[in-house]
Structures are given as structure tokens and as C-alpha cells.
Amino acid sequence: MKRIWTTPRPKTNCEGVSRRDFLRVGSLGALGLSLPEFLRMQAASAAPGKPKKDVNCILMFMNGGPSHMDTFDLKPNAPSDYRGEFKPVNTNVKGIQISEHLPLLAKQTDKLALVRGFTSPEGSHARACHLMLTGYRILPILEYPGYGSVVFKEKGFRNAVPPYVAIPSTLRSGGPGYLGGAYQPFSVGQPGKGKFTVRDLKSPVDDARTRARSEMLARANGRFGQNDPDHTLAPVDKFYQRAFDLVNSPEAKKAFDLSQETEKLRAEYGSGFGQSCLLARRLVEAGSRFVTLSKGGWDTHSNNFKSLKTRLLPDLDRGWATLMRDLQDRGLLENTLIIWMGEFGRTPKVNKKAGRDHWPKGMTVVFAGGGVPGGQVIGKTDDKGQRPVERPVSPADMATTIYDILGVNWHKVYHTSTGRPIRVAQDGSVVSELTG
């Protein structure tokens, strides 16, 4: 039976616990949570002290690697086999130009911070995804946690709405890594134009039977506690209630219900990626702390310009621009960080198939909201878009910056199941231009 916090792609348990060691508590199978997961959630929510900031995050990840040369770092004066087919257009910020196929974002560039000096050493999909989503290079013996899982661990729940949500599914290397399955994102599937439902928010039995099971479990636990007191199991009751609340909470169900929005606003967001953006807005409004949106199709080794022009960029432009406007209208943009990235950029030189290949040495990452000063460009690539020539920014720098904006202590040390100490982020420097 599917567990609430389980990714569609099974993960190796980095804590050294076999499947037979997972204890099922009473009728929790119907709600999908196991005892170890409850205990880890207890630790996450009980962290002492208050974070210095309470900023949410929506991470838009372009699976495959988007071309910086055709989106946010065009080179109109480069040779034709580098600059490609697209032309730059002026934005609402003097001196900043972006792709002609992002006209709506061009009108909101005053909210964007374009990190054009981003550079990475990894050019393969799996290794690059891990580095971009964790700040650490991948190791064969250890998987590091993604940003959302760290935020989940440090800040816990606000209410019944999951603090870390993945739309439509968990990103490769966006999971909890060595932190364990309790910090797995809640994957919801792909929202579309029609009725959207999340299966895990519906109990497999009716409300009356669910309540009866809850009461039966409470009685059984009460008798067990009288005969064999074990205070280490006390947190189970609390997190059984958390799971029960998620399945039965009107607020949680409402957060995932896109039909609550007007048809006009849904149409403004557009289909596909736009509906994912709308769901992300509803989730942070309802209490989620970190939401990932993945959009595939960016691995354009051939027909790069046709794919971008007809399919990828119009969908991105509409959904992203509407999301920023909607967040601002609701007073949420200032405390919601938006990050746009892929695992790498694409080759500045166009190949024989009218495509661009993998290129991590120079690319663009975009930040908006969350108190980040907009209307700025950070760094610069050379005249052909190959490498940074000003203000290079690394994945380690990005990790420390993201955690700093979100109010997470990136100096903090975690320990793996074997006792190995690991800092939340390694030796990167905060990009001061992004932190205001």
C-alpha cells in the first residue's frame, strides 16, 4: 500500500534499516505512515529556537538543462552559429534584455535577479542534478538531502498541509538523502485543466470507519501503555494525529483543490506548467514551506529552437509571470522565494542538428521574491556565452545563499547513521547581491 511520504522512485534507505524493521502501528497502514517516520517528524518539529526568517520557496526545475543563450543570456553580437535564431528584447529594466519568447517575464524583470555568472563542474544529468539540488557533489556511498528536505527538517509543519511538496513528483536528488524517509516530499501528480485530485488525501475507507479505527487504536494504545509504559513511543500519538489531520483536514484538502479558483485566473495561468504554478501558490498560501515544480523537455540536443519557441518557453513565460503577479497581489511575494534553474546550461555553439548539448561551465539561474532585490544582473559570461568573466557563482555559493534567504543555519552540522558529521552546506559564500 502506498505510503504518504513515498516517492514514485524507490530510494535506498540510507539509515541502514531493512524493510522488515519498519513497525506498523495499529491501523496506520490505511494512512500510510510508519513508526520511524513519526519519530523523525517529532525531531523535525521539535528543533529549539525560532528561525531568523520565515520565507517560503518555490523551486522551478527545468529537467534536461535549459539553454541560457536562448532565455536570459542572449549574445546578439556573437557569430550566427553561437547566437542562434532568437533575438533579445528590452525589459522593464533599462539595460537588461532577455529572449523575445519571454514577453510576459520581460514586463516583470524588475522582480528578477539574473545570475548570469553561474558555473558548475558537472555535465552529466544525474551528477549535475545532485549538485544543483543539494550543493554537494554526488558520492557513491552517500546521498545528500535536497534543499526542501533540509527546510522540512529545520522548520517542520505549520499545520496539516505538508511542509515539502513536489509537483508532479520528487526531483532526482531532491529527496531526503541521509536524513531518512520522514523528510521525503509529498508528491501530488500533475494538475491539468480539469478536475485535479490527490489520491493520498482520500482515505480508503469512509469517515465513520476512519474515526472508528482511530478510536480503536487509541483504546489499544491506552491499554498497552498501562501494561508496558514506554515513553519513547509517546510521540506516536501526536503524529498519528498529524496523519489523521492531513487526510481529514478541510484546510489541507482545500489547498489542493484548484476548482476553488476562478476559471479566469486558471486560464491566465495556462495549462500544464501554469496549473502547477497555481497549485504551488495555493500550497504556500495554505502553509507549505517548500514546493518544487519540475518541467521536462529541456534536453534539446536537436530542434532546440523549435522546441523552445513552440512548446517550452510560452508555457514557462505564462505560468511564471502569472505566479509572480498573483503572489504579489496576495502579499505573498515578499516572503516567497522563487528559483528557476536546470541541472546545467547548453552549449553556446549550435550543433548540426539545430540543437545545443550539455554545458555546465556557463549558465543562468534566476531568483525572485523572498526579499531578493530584483531588476539586477549578477555576473557576466564572455561574448560567446561560454564561461563567466565576471562574478562567478558556484553551486556551493547557491546553496549557502538559498539557506541564508530561507533562514536556515547552513553552518549547522548533521550526522549520518554512521555518525559522520556533515554541514548543511559546504564551503560556499553567500551571494550578497541576492540577500538585500
Residue 44 and residue 330: Cα distance in Å, rounded? Answer: 29
CA 271 to each of CA 199, 310, 364: distance values in angstroms, whole numbers, following the listed order: 21, 14, 25
**What's the pLDDT at 132?**
98
pLDDT recorded at residue 248: 63
What is the reported pLDDT for 209? 61
Give the model's pLDDT for residue 300: 98
Beta pairing partners, 56: 336
Q: What is the pLDDT along the chain (436 residues), one digit of tens a residue?
A: 333 333 334 333 323 333 333 333 332 333 333 444 444 444 444 444 444 579 999 999 999 999 999 999 999 999 999 999 999 999 999 999 999 999 999 999 999 999 999 999 999 999 999 999 999 999 988 999 999 999 999 999 999 999 999 999 999 999 999 999 899 999 999 997 667 777 656 555 455 665 555 556 556 656 655 665 555 444 444 444 555 556 567 788 889 999 999 999 999 999 889 999 999 999 999 999 999 999 999 999 999 999 999 999 999 999 999 999 999 999 999 999 999 999 999 999 999 999 999 999 999 999 999 999 999 999 999 999 999 999 999 999 999 999 999 999 999 999 998 999 999 998 899 999 999 7
- Residue 124's nearest CA partner among 134, 137, 112 is 137
Position 250 scores a pLDDT of 79
Domain 54-198+257-434 has CATH 3.40.720.10: yes
Question: For the chain, what are the domain ranges?
Answer: 54-198+257-434, 200-255
Residue type, 173: S
Can you tell me the distance from the alpha carbon of 434 to that of 436, in angstroms, rounded to the nearest whole number?
6
- pLDDT at residue 235 in the model: 40
Cβ atoms of 163 and 156 within 8 Å: the answer is yes
> Please, where are the H alpha helices in 11-50?
35-45
Report residue 317 as a C-alpha cell.
513565460
DSSP 382: -
Asked whether the bond before 168 is cis by omega within 30 degrees of 0, the reply is yes
Burial classification of residue 73, based on how many CB atoms lie within 10 Å of its CB (0-12 exposed, 13-18 middle, 19 or more buried): buried
Check: CB of residue 288 under 8 Å from CB of residue 165. yes
**Is the Cβ–Cβ distance between 195 and 260 less than 8 Å?**
no
CB count, 10 Å around CB of 130? 25
- pLDDT at position 193 is 61
Distance (Å, whole) CA 87 – CA 36:
54
Query: Distance between CA 268 and CA 420 in Å, rounded?
Result: 49
Closest CA to 150 of 33, 2, 356, 290: 290
Please give the model's pTM, rounded to 2 decimal places.
0.82
**b vs e for 251-286, b when ≥16 Cβ sit within 10 Å of the residue's Cβ?**
ebbebbbbeebeeeebebbbebbbbbbbbbbbbbbb
- Measured distance CA(413)–CA(421) in Å, rounded: 6
**What DSSP string describes 128-148?**
HHHHHHHSS--BTTB-PPPHH
Q: Helix, strand, coil: what percent of the chain each, to 5?
A: 40, 15, 45
